[in-house]
Structure 1
Amino acid sequence: MSAQLLLPQLSLRAFAVWRRNFLVWKKLAIPSLLGNLADPMIYLFGLGYGLGGLLPQINGVSYIAFLASGTVCASTMNAASFEALYSAFSRMHVQRTWEAIMNAPVTLEDVMAGELLWAAAKATLSGMAILVVISLLGFVASPLALWALPVIFLTGLAFAALGLIVTALAPSYDFFMYYFTLFITPMVLLCGVFFPPEQLPPLVQAVAAWLPLTHAVALVRPLLFGEIPAGIVGHLAALLAVALAAFWIALTLIRRRLLK
């Protein structure tokens, strides 16, 4: 394996790719944001007020407040995943936008880094939108919630990088259903979005502890409740490690696909 694959040569041209994607998205920004809000809000109000009325408090807070903090992370994960899968695959395979960009003095590493940053930025907007809504509804207890913003961005980076791996392997859009069914959906159920992970069997808890969404929820939920999360360094390191390792794997796979 060449040194170029081991040490990707990144440059500030990645931000030009980011800007290109932003300018395209800006034309439909409002419908995009509303679309990202709709699904998590349905879960929040449907389960929070419906099911929540039948449940006692969880760790001293109402169920809807507990669910709201998890929804911020789940929305960030979904937004990053959709952008790194469907949108990136369209630009790579269907529209061949990546090939057109690389006719300029822009490398594949810059294109991939731009896609990663754009997916994370779009996911951050989604997470921020949910955060604003639940703040207005009174489910945020402390200004410490502002520290959730960098966690949201890092969560977006991690799931965007994982999504780019799947994009590199995908022969068509249908392939993404396997990723959502076998990876994304189980994480929503296992990582503390809807209920505390402590309710799960010990073996399942051990598996869930390795999933990136678990680390995101463990950081964001206490901040929204005005508490300092336990194990901050470990959770941040885990999300950063996922983002870096997954990006390197995605870049290696994309190189084999496009430059073979």
Structure 2
Amino acid sequence: MAHLWAIPRVSRRAGRVWRRNFDVFCKTWKVNFFPPFIEALLYLSAIGLGIGSYIGALNGVPYVNYIAPAILAISAMNSAFFECTYGSYVRMYYQKSFDAIIATPLSIEDVIAGELLWGATRAVISVTIMLPVLVAFNVISLPFSLLTIPLAFIGGLMFAGLAMCFTAITPGIDTLNYPSFLLITPMMLFSGTFFPLSILPAIFQYVALAFFPLTHLVSLMRMATLPAPGAILLLNITWILVATVVFCIISINLMRRRLIV
């Protein structure tokens, strides 16, 4: 178990893996551009304006404004997580891209680090595409909401590391459905996204704060977009930074063990 905590030797050449994925993305940008754009419209229209018309305001904030930062956080989570689970697994197992890259001077650590950076970049791209939609609906506050872009990168890197841990241990691509449905979906619903955590029983609040990464990302996004300074700002930032480092280190070491064996 000790090797899982060993600091990986990652070089600047990891950027070449990131660039490879970026070049592929640019060739299919039309397919990748519209999903986050349409997703923002659907969430705001169906939940924000539709359900929001019955709810009114939460904590003195119109409901559509309340869920806007959660939409950004969910998009960052989904983009990074699915890129580094299904996307990375396809590149590793079916396309054999990892084997081909490792045959060059790049190391396994460089390859996985590049994948993690790309997962974080996908989160940034999704949030950046969504921001103009939220501005058009007048549900976020400028210029503070621009802080969601660096937050998307940090949060995306955290979820990319978490995703790569599952990719490293999954026996087949179908098995990735388990973390998708048993972890990502509950987080999307019970992380203070569509309603305050305070209305849940104390035990569920504890679980959300202690074990759900999305809870802290949603809180930070909400502080940036409303803006609404929160008492647990330092806790949220610290939790995300620590989790990001832990997930990334473990995921690189797990992938190294899988690819070497």
Shorter-chain-normalised TM-score: which range?
over 0.9
Aligned: 1:124 with 2:124: yes
Contact 2:76 2:124 in 1 (8 A): yes
Q: Match for 1:159: what amino acid?
A: F
Contact 2:83 2:119 in 1 (8 A): yes
**Which residue does the alignment assign to 1:242?**
243
| Distance across 1 between alignment mates of 2:3 and 2:180 | 33
Structure 1 residue 5, shift from structure 2 partner: 6.6
Structure 1 residue 2, shift from structure 2 partner: 7.8
Runs of 5+ unmatched residues, structure 2: none
Aligned: 1:6 with 2:6: yes
Report the 3-state secondary structure (helix = DSSP H, G, I; strand = E; otherwise coil) of the residue aligned with 1:209. helix
User: 1:198 and 1:63, CA in 2 relative to 1: closer, same or farther beyond 3 A?
Assistant: same
| Distance across 2 between alignment mates of 1:151 and 1:230 | 18
Higher RCO (CA < 8 A, seq sep 6+): 2
Report the 3-state secondary structure (helix = DSSP H, G, I; strand = E; otherwise coil) of the residue aligned with 2:57. coil
**Which residue does the alignment assign to 1:213?**
214
Structure 1 residue 64, shift from structure 2 partner: 1.1
**What do the CA deviations read for 1:194-240 (whole angstroms, capped 9, x no partner)?**
11111111100000012111111111112111233433332112111
Runs of 5+ unmatched residues, structure 1: none
**Which residue does the alignment assign to 1:222?**
223
The RMSD of aligned alpha carbons is 1.6
Bigger CA drift: 110-119 or 36-45?
36-45
User: 1:165 and 1:2, CA in 2 relative to 1: closer, same or farther beyond 3 A?
Assistant: closer
| Distance across 1 between alignment mates of 2:131 and 2:36 | 12
Structure 1 residue 43, shift from structure 2 partner: 2.5
**Which residue does the alignment assign to 2:74?**
74
| Distance across 2 between alignment mates of 1:69 and 1:89 | 30
| Distance across 1 between alignment mates of 2:213 and 2:22 | 26
Q: Match for 1:109: what amino acid?
A: E
**Which residue does the alignment assign to 1:155?**
155
Contact 2:48 2:64 in 1 (8 A): yes
**Which residue does the alignment assign to 1:196?**
196
